[in-house]
Chains A and B, each alone.
Chain A
């Protein structure tokens, strides 16, 4: 590969994060994203071990990348490395791979502390120049746990065609908090399992011990002969008389309590007891005198160096040969470490439960928000939920710009703000006295996918120190979901207003069309009356007074008659046109188009014979259209062909085929054709290309055909025309 011979590029030249804001971005399915978030949270609770792989699968689905993964920082042989804990896509074979911090992309991303887009990855990192497949772009989102950056989620592109956009960055931003939570939950789950094993071992050890103790108790031995056996024990074994005076002290005891045997023998056992437990000794001695045993009594003891340790005591009476109780043997085991582990385990368990609870709480919010599509109502719901979840007394949603501006530098940086005691803090919010009686509060910005602050969620309480890190996490989760829901609601509201506007303008148009039709109909109707009077009067004048008229006057009379006739034809056409715009009642029936054509040919037979024309046709289909309307189309096209003919006898051929869900009819003639530049004008009503002397007619025909075809969801067009040698008109009818 030629790439290898190139010098590595410095990181700065390969970071192109700024490009995200100028690249065209694509729409994202927020509904699906929301649902997926909920599913992921469920998965986190059910199978925390698999959550990281699940997460990268999801990231790959929502991003443009061809590989996605999660890298976690780890120590390995004293070196800081990144290990790929989950990988999906083309890089999947590299799962569990690791690379040193300074050579790994994630290291670069983490050092930047925010989402970065890196190009020419192979030129920057030697680890990727050898890797297969090649990485052309990498988008990285680091995440942190407890303030420490611990890992990153990433997506890779492997070929030069694709590129990441701001939506991909948005998806990573959405998921990185989740990744942090998931990582934590997963590691807790692993830890828990390990401790369960440890406990099992300890339990086993204890049982062994107990067994030994039982065996010892059963031995009928002289109290002081025991020393030889106990000397070798790791456990502290001490014997004392009934007054609590130490009689023997083994090596285990020396080790546990720090005193040499010589220092303690003959001294009271109470020297080992912490002051608050001093009452234990008489109690224990009392039991011993009664012949009772004390098993696994957990208490505190003090070492010579003053350190207090947790011990588990097993105390048994010592009898002499006569069976009289003469003292007690005490075995003590240091359980400080065990106690500490137990405590830590309980702590981790509680934290894990807390984390799960938070995730569940946040996820319960999602479905509630998803169904709310009105911004106003959404804000109410969010505020109510947040107030309840964090146990606040007051919850307010501040729409952006209401009053929050300039009050807090953290908010300006779009981070969550927590105030534990407003009286002590020098806080402008408190100083402004806007929220009287509030001592603790949380404010979180709600940021849209377009990076716009939509508002702030404010939660307050009259007592100090009411909120903690967990509440912050809950609130941040809710804010993220709110942002998505508000974006959704905004889109929905926009879509709705557009729809309303469309409906309104449609209704207006329909109304206007109806008025226009009514007007055209009655106007043309009313025009006929006076026109008829003009025509009849002119004819009467001609009939009765022609002999008296001068030649000039007779010419004028002829003009009046001609004009009246043309006007009548126009009005008739207009009426036909208006009638054609009124849809036929009911759905179109199936008609035999051949039958319709033959009927039209019969009606036109006079015109066709007159010009010695002929009409032929192929097999014609059954089509869903009213016969009268289809007849009008055929009638107009054929009649035009007979009219606009060449010297040769007009020949017309009609054919049809089914194509892409339409019946497409072709009507081809050998007439005068139409110049390309007029091809569109011919469908305009009353548009004529020729003067009246050449060709008669009002020019309504093709416009009428177009109106009819539009009503059936089809269209009519001039498919092909050669001036001087013919045209082909096509019309299409949806096959339903």
Chain B
């Protein structure tokens, strides 16, 4: 699984929630938008990494924003990969944009630690389809 997230605390909280739900996922973390784009160009090529089973994608990222990454992902060899957008924004236009680009879910980052378990449930639901 690929996690594109720049905020260290978020990375910590999300990975902890996934561990606690015992999903046994291997999480690869990328910290900015440009890294994510570079990674997407390598996947699917000979000798490159395989497509991830799932991408957790923040929107507000340094250098290249999440919506742009999602757009490029849909044009790459991993175009069918499931994507969950994880963002602190509750803007209606963001929600509509990511839905149009085929994101599976939109998870608004909570302030309460326990509420992150909900994200783990969503991940579980999508992976077990």
Contact = CB atoms under 8 A, between A and B. Distances in A.
Interface of A: 525, 528-529, 531-533, 535-537, 539-540, 543, 564-565, 568
Given A532-B109, A532-B111, A540 B88 contact: no
Contacts of B111: 531-532, 535-536, 564-565, 568
B38 to A, nearest CB: 25
Nearest to A538: B113
B88 A529 contact: yes
5 contacts: A532-B88, A532-B109, A533-B7, A536-B113, A565-B111
Interface in B22-56: none
Nearest to B116: A536
Interface string B54-65: 000000100000
B128 interface: no
A536 B13 contact: yes
Given A532-B88, A533-B7, A539 B109 contact: no
Given A528-B88, A533-B9, A565-B111, 8 more contacts: A529-B60, A533-B10, A535-B111, A536-B13, A536-B111, A537-B9, A540-B12, A540-B113
Contacts of B7: 529, 533
Contacts of A533: 7, 9-10
Interface string B64-91: 0000000000000000000000001100
Contacts of B16: 540
A674 B61 CA distance: 49
Contacts, number: 31
**5 closest residue pairs by CB, A with B:** A539-B113, A535-B111, A533-B9, A532-B111, A536-B9
Given A533-B9, A536-B9, A536-B13, A543 B113 contact: yes
A446 to B, nearest CB: 65
Contacts of B109: 532
Contacts of A536: 9-10, 13, 111, 113
A572 to B, nearest CB: 10
B57 to A, nearest CB: 17
Contacts of A528: 88
Nearest to A532: B111
Q: Which residue among B10, B12, B16, B113 has the maximum number of chain A CB atoms within 10 Å of its CB?
A: B113
Contacts of A525: 89
Contacts of A543: 113
Nearest to A542: B113
Nearest to A537: B9
A132 B10 CA distance: 99
Nearest to B110: A532
Contacts of B113: 536, 539-540, 543
A532 B9 CA distance: 9
A529 B111 CA distance: 9
Contacts of B89: 525
Q: Which residue among A529, A536, A539, A564 has the maximum number of chain B CB atoms within 10 Å of its CB?
A: A536
A568 B110 CA distance: 11
A525 B113 CA distance: 20
B107 to A, nearest CB: 13
Contacts of A535: 111-112
